Structure 1
C-alpha cells in the first residue's frame, strides 16, 4: 500500500489554481478591492462545507491583508438556500455596508440574487462547486470547476476547496507583484478544508485525498483552530489519533446540526474564533443541537417506515415521501436512510410556508438526480427551483403539485436500466486468520483517507454466531466464532429483519470493516458489520 502512487500525497502534486476558468479576472478584482480596503461580505451556506468555506474565506482574506470583512449565512427556515434577493437585502443592512458580496459553496444558481445585488451597485464574486444551470448569474467573476471550458481536472472539489484555491491564487499574485513583503503560509487553513471536504461527501479523488492527508497530519499534531479543537473535545475524539471517519461521523454532524436545527452562524462563529473558551461554549451548543436532531430524526424515520408500509412503493422507481409535521433540517438525512434501505432514489418533502413544500433527495449510482430534476422541471414546469449534484439535490414546489411531480419523476426514470435498482455487495474478499488482527486494522487506520469513490475495504468471512445482544433497540452486538478464534462485532442500525434472522449457533457470511475498540486502555479488534448472507442458501439478509 505504501508503495502505491495513489498514496503519495505531495503538496507539490496538487493541481494548480491557474487551471481554474476566470481565475485571473477574479484575482484582478480581489486585488482591486484590497487596494481600496473595500468591505467584503462573505455569503455562506448552512451545511458543514458552507460553514468551513466561510471560515476559510474570513481567515484567509485576513491573512492576505483584507481588513473589512463580514459574513452572512442564510437561515434555512427563513431565507432558503444561497444568494437570494432576501439575502442581498439583509447584507445591505449590515454595518458597515458591503461593497462586495463573495459567495462560498453557493451562487451558481443565484440568478435573481445577483441581479438584485447588481441593482444595488454591489460587486458579486461567486465561488461554488455545484452544477450550473442553463443560464449563469450576471457577473463575470465566477469560479466553479463545473463551468463549461474549465480545465481544472478535479471536478470533485467542494466549496471550501474552491475558495481555498482562490486564496492560493490571490497569495501568488500578491507575492509576485511585491505587495506581500513576506510569504504567507496557508497551511493553517487545511484543518478547515479537510473537515469541509470530508463532510460534504464529495468523491475523494487524488487532489482531495492530498488535501485531506496534509490536513489530518496537522490535526494529529494538534495544529487545529480553536473551533475544531473544541468540536473534537465535545465529540470525545483525540486529535492525536484522528481519522477521516471521526471527522465524518463524530465531528461534522455536530457542526451540521446548527444549520439543520437553528442557524449556522453559530457554527461559523465557532470556526472563526481564536478564543478557546468561546469555542468550547459554542461547540456545546452545537452538540445540543445534534442531540435534538437525533431525536427528531428517529421520530421521522419511524413515520417514514409507516408511510412506506401503507404505500405501493415497490411499483415506483423513485420513493417520494411527505409529512406535514416533518422538519426541513432533517429531510436530507431521512432521504439518505430510505435510499439505503430501498436502493432507490428517494426525495423527502417537508412544509415550506402555507402552500409550498421543500424537498431533499438522494440517489443511487448511475442515476444523476440533478439532471433528473432538470428534465422534470423543463418538461412539466412543476418545480419552482432546484439544484445539487448527481447523488444529492434539493428542490421546492407547490404542495398541490406533489402528486403530479411523483408521476412525472417516475415516468422520467422508467427509461433507466432495472439493474440500477438492484443492490450489490462489493467486497475485497475473505481475510485469513493471520490477517484478522489489530495490525491489519492499524494499517488501514494509518492510511485513513476513505470516503466517497474511494471506499474503505470491506471483507467477508463465514462466521458462527456465539452470542447476540441488541443495544438501544437498533444496534446488534455479536460475538462471532471461526475455527481459529472469536471476534467482537457490531451492526449499527441493524434492520428489524436482520435482527430476526440472525440466530445464535448459526453461520453466516458476514461482510465487515475492521476497527479497533479502546476501553480502559485495552485495545481489541472489532468487526463493523454491514451485510450478511445465509450460507446455506446464499440469500441476502440485509443489503
Structure 2
C-alpha cells in the first residue's frame, strides 16, 4: 500500500513494473490490508478503501500528506504513515486534513491573484480555450510574484497557471517571514518541448548574478533570485521561451480515443475503468465527440455544470475550472465518470477540453 501510494502521489511513470506494484497495493487496500495511517487518511478524506483507485492516491491521500510539508511539519505525514496505533493515526489524519483545508484556501487566493497578474501584466483578457494566445498578447513564458504569496504553495499555483495558459510558468514568493525577505523563491512548471532547467541555465549565462541558486529537470524546476531582479528574470525567461517555442508547441492538444459507441455509455463501464490502474504514462481513456449543449450553469462560481446530448442520449457533464460558456454544439474531450443523487448512480462526463470555432 505504501509503495502504491508513493508511486502515484509522486507522479512516477507507470511502466510495467510500477503498474504491477500499484495494482498489488490497491488489491491489498481494497481487501482491508493496509497500515492504520492509510486507513485513517481514507476516512479523513471521505473515500472508501474497498473501492480505492489511483485517483484516491493522487487527489485525496497524497495532498493531505504533502500539505504538512508545505505549511507545517512534514514529519506529521511520515508519522501518520508509520504509526501502528490506530488512535494516533486517526488523530494525525484529522490534523493533516485540517492543514490541507488551509492549504486549499491559501492556494485558491493565490491562484486567483496569479491569474489576475498574468492577464493584467500582459494586457489581455482571459483567452477563450482554443484561441491562439500568442496572438492575444501573452508571452511564451509567464512569471508572477506578489508579496502576499506563500512560499509553500508556489509550485501548485505554477502548475495551475501552466495548465490554464499552456505556457512555462514561474511563481515566486518572498523567502522568509511576512514576505519581507530580499530573496524570492520561485517554483516553475513547464510544457512538453521546453526544458525548464536548461532554460534557467541559459538565463544564468546571459544574466550573471540574477539566479542565486537553481535546479530541477525538464518539467519542474526551482530557483532563488534577489527581489529587485524579478523584472530581469521575467524578461529573460520570456525571451528564452520565445526563441525555443513555436506556435504549434504553444497550442494545447489533447490525445483522445475518439468517439465512444452509445452502447458503452453506462455506469457499469465506469466501474470497470475505475478498477484499473491509471496514472503518469498510462492515462485513462479520454474520448471526444460532438455534443449538443442543452443547458449550462456555473456551480461554485468556477465550474461549468452541463446538460448534454451525446449520440442522441441525454447525459450530465462537469468541467472543473471552466467559467466561459460553451456554444450550442461543440466537440468535447471527456472521461467517463458517475455521480450519485438520491441513491441513484448516473453516468457523467468529466470534460477535459473543447475544440471551439476560431
Match of 1:533 in 2: 355
Measured in 2, the distance between the counterparts of 1:300 and 1:413 equals 24
Which of 522, 536, 541 is the equivalent residue of 2:344?
522
**Structure 2 CA distance for partners of 1:414 and 1:510, relative to 1, 3 Å:** closer
Specify the SS of the correspondent of 1:434.
helix
Deviations 1:1-56 (A, max 9, x none): xxxxxxxxxxxxxxxxxxxxxxxxxxxxxxxxxxxxxxxxxxxxxxxxxxxxxxxx
Aligned with residue 189 of structure 2, among 359, 362, 380 = 362
Q: Which residue of 1 aligns with 2:203?
A: 376
Aligned to 1:441: 270
**What secondary structure, in the 3-state scheme, does the structure 1 residue paired with 2:265 have?**
coil
Structure 1 equivalent of residue 172 of structure 2: 349
- Pair 1:217 & 2:42 matched: no
Q: Which runs of 4+ in 1 moved over 4 A?
A: none
Corresponding residue for 1:432?
261
Residues 428 and 269 from structure 1, CA distance in 2 versus in 1: closer, same or farther, beyond 3 angstroms? same
Q: Which residue of 2 aligns with 1:16?
A: none
- 2: distance between equivalents of 1:386 and 1:220? 42
Partner of 2:49: 239
Shift of 1:283: 0.6
Matches of 1:483 and 1:209, distance apart in 2: 34
Deviations 1:68-103 (A, max 9, x none): xxxxxxxxxxxxxxxxxxxxxxxxxxxxxxxxxxxx
Instruction: Say whether the 8 Å CA contact 2:140–2:245 is kept in structure 1.
Output: no
Correspondent of 2:18 among 199, 208, 211: 208
Which 5+ residue runs of structure 1 have no aligned equivalent? 1-190
Aligned to 1:265: 75
Counterpart selection for 1:306 from 116, 119, 141: 116
Q: What SS class does the counterpart of residue 358 from structure 1 fall into?
A: strand
2:234: which partner in 1?
406
1:153-191 alpha-carbon deviations (Å, 9 max, x no partner): xxxxxxxxxxxxxxxxxxxxxxxxxxxxxxxxxxxxxx1
Report the counterpart of residue 423 of structure 1 in structure 2: 252
Matched, 1:291 2:101: yes
Q: Are the counterparts in 1 of residues 262 and 311 from structure 2 also a CA contact under 8 Å?
A: no
Contact 2:197 2:216 (C-alpha < 8 Å) held by counterparts: yes
Q: Is 1:513 aligned to 2:342, yes or no?
A: no
Structure 1 CA distance for aligned equivalents of residues 152 and 261 of structure 2: 44
Structure 1 CA distance, aligned partners of 2:30 and 2:112? 39
1:412 & 1:300 partners in 2: Cα distance? 26
Kindly provide the CA deviation profile for residues 195-221 of structure 1, in whole angstroms up to 9, marking residues without a partner as x: 111111232222321221111111111
Q: Does the CA contact (< 8 Å) of 2:193 and 2:245 recur in 1?
A: no
Residue 312 of structure 2 is aligned to residue 490 of structure 1: no
- Counterpart Cα distance in 1 of 2:204 and 2:34: 44
**1:305/1:525 Cα in 2 relative to 1: closer, same or farther (>3 Å)?**
same
TM score, norm. by length of structure 2: 0.89
Please provide the CA RMSD for this pair: 1.8
Residue 342 of structure 1: CA displacement?
Answer: 1.1
Equivalent residue for 2:326, pick from 474, 493, 502: 502
**Secondary structure of the residue that 1:341 maps to in structure 2?**
helix
Give the match's secondary structure for 1:308.
helix
Q: CA deviation at 1:250?
A: 1.5
Once the two structures are superposed, residues 274-319 of structure 1 have per-residue CA deviations (whole angstroms, 9 ceiling, x without a partner) of 1111111111111111111111111112211221232127352210
Within 5 Å, which residues of 2 pair with 1:317-336? 317-336=140-159
- In terms of Rg, which structure is larger? 1
